[in-house]
């Protein structure tokens, strides 16, 4: 990946809203088979990567290979001294006491995956949207939201089931549009309408919307359209440590550089990287 170079640095208090921690494997093993090799990227590696990029805060997302074992994520939250927040994974039979403990630790929502592996199957360990329907009332009581990774077509298939749950919704990986269908595609235009109306938040994470090794230039029109639709509903994220990308993995500084090139207004950068995530993730204990 090559990007224009720039001298800008993230604003004070900037967030990376899509990251993961893995391991150490002897402390946090997983018994769920993974379709990709699990990196050894525990909290110290996460902190070093964020600090090197000038990022003050970050959101940890529960990786599917850990299933509902959130011990690695909770350990990182504790070690961070408050600079991290978390999104965990749970099913409808989780005890209230576990949800309350997660909330005290800094968890602010649950993730639901309708995305499929290259073989067309759910990622082992992932939790689907049917569980959101079972958990919605308890999530609302905690002030939590749902993070959803799916294609746009799948999102609109289950949208009638979730739109009335009154749980705030954050869409991973730019909402899951198909770039081959262009910005005028009906599904993408429907996404823009939801964003414009404030019904969903969208993460501007590029890595899963373009072929590995891409310079992401084909995503610029979608990126711009989402921001124009409602900048107050945009969140920036890297997807560190870039699982499954191997030698094609970008770096956080390169992704930041690209964001700074595409969004050249300092106030807009601050809104997306500081103000919006503070509203979405910082509330609570």
Q: Are 131 and 162 in contact (CB under 8 A)?
A: no
Q: Is 6 domain-assigned? A: no
What is the domain extent for residue 180? Answer: 15-281
149: enclosing H helix or E strand: strand 145-149
Looking at the domain assignment, is residue 41 inside a domain?
Answer: yes
108 DSSP assignment: E
First to last CA, the chain: 39
CATH number of the CATH domain containing 109:
3.20.20.140
Specify if 186 maps to a domain: yes
How far is 13 from 250, CA to CA, in rounded Å? 23
Q: Is residue 7 part of a domain?
A: no
Q: What is the rounded distance in angstroms from the CA atom of residue 157 to the CA atom of residue 113?
A: 14
What is the spatial distance between Cα 29 and Cα 66, in angstroms, rounded to a whole number? 8
- Residue by residue, pLDDT tens for the chain (285 residues) are 444 445 689 999 999 999 999 999 999 999 898 988 899 999 999 999 999 999 999 999 999 999 999 999 999 999 999 999 999 999 999 999 999 999 999 999 999 999 998 889 999 999 999 999 999 999 999 999 999 999 999 999 999 999 999 999 999 999 999 999 999 999 999 999 999 999 999 999 999 898 888 899 999 999 999 999 999 999 999 999 999 888 889 999 999 999 999 999 999 999 999 999 999 998 654
Beta pairing partners, 217: none
Nearest to 171 by CA among 187, 149, 191: 149
- Is residue 58 within 8 Å of residue 17, measured between CB atoms? yes
Q: Is residue 1 part of a domain?
A: no
Tokens of 23: 């391991």
Residue 144 forms part of a structural domain:
yes
How far is residue 84's CA from residue 76's CA, in Å, rounded to a whole number? 8
Q: Percentage helix, strand, coil, to 5, in the chain?
A: 40, 15, 45
In a domain, 2, yes or no: no
pLDDT computed for residue 283 by the predictor: 65
Element (H, E) at 153: helix 152-162
- How many domains in the chain? 1
Nearest to 235 by CA among 64, 89, 109: 109
| Closest by CA position to 59, among listed 254, 271, 236 | 236
Tokens (6 digits) for 273:
């990287």
Using DSSP's 3-state secondary structure scheme, residue 150 falls into coil
- Residue 150 located in a structural domain: yes
């Amino acid at each position: 990946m090559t990007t224009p170079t720039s001298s800008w640095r993230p604003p004070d208090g900037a967030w990376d809203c899509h990251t993961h921690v893995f391991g150490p494997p002897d402390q946090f093993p997983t018994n769920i088979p993974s379709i990709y090799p699990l990196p050894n990227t525990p909290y110290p590696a996460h902190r070093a990567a964020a600090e090197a990029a000038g990022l003050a805060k970050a959101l940890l997302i529960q990786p599917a290979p850990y299933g509902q074992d959130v011990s690695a994520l909770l350990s990182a939250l504790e070690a961070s001294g408050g600079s991290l927040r978390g999104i965990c994974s749970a099913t409808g039979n989780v005890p209230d006491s576990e949800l309350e403990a997660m909330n005290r630790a800094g968890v602010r929502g649950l993730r639901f995956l309708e995305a499929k592996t290259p073989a067309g199957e759910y990622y082992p360990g992932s939790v689907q949207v049917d569980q959101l329907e079972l958990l919605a009332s308890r999530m609302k009581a905690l002030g939590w939201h749902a993070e959803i990774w799916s294609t746009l077509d799948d999102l609109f298939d289950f949208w009638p089931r979730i739109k009335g749950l009154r749980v705030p919704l954050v869409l991973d990986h730019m909402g899951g549009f198909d770039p081959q269908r262009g910005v005028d595609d009906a599904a993408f235009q429907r996404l823009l309408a939801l964003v414009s109306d404030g019904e969903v938040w969208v993460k501007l994470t590029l890595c899963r919307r373009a072929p590995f090794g891409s310079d992401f230039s084909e995503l610029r029109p979608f990126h711009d359209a989402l921001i124009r639709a409602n900048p107050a509903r945009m969140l920036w994220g890297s997807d560190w440590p870039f699982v499954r990308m191997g030698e094609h993995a970008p770096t956080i500084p390169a992704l930041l550089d690209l964001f700074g090139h595409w969004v050249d207004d300092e106030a807009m950068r601050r809104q997306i990287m500081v103000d919006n995530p503070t509203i979405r993730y910082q509330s609570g204990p």
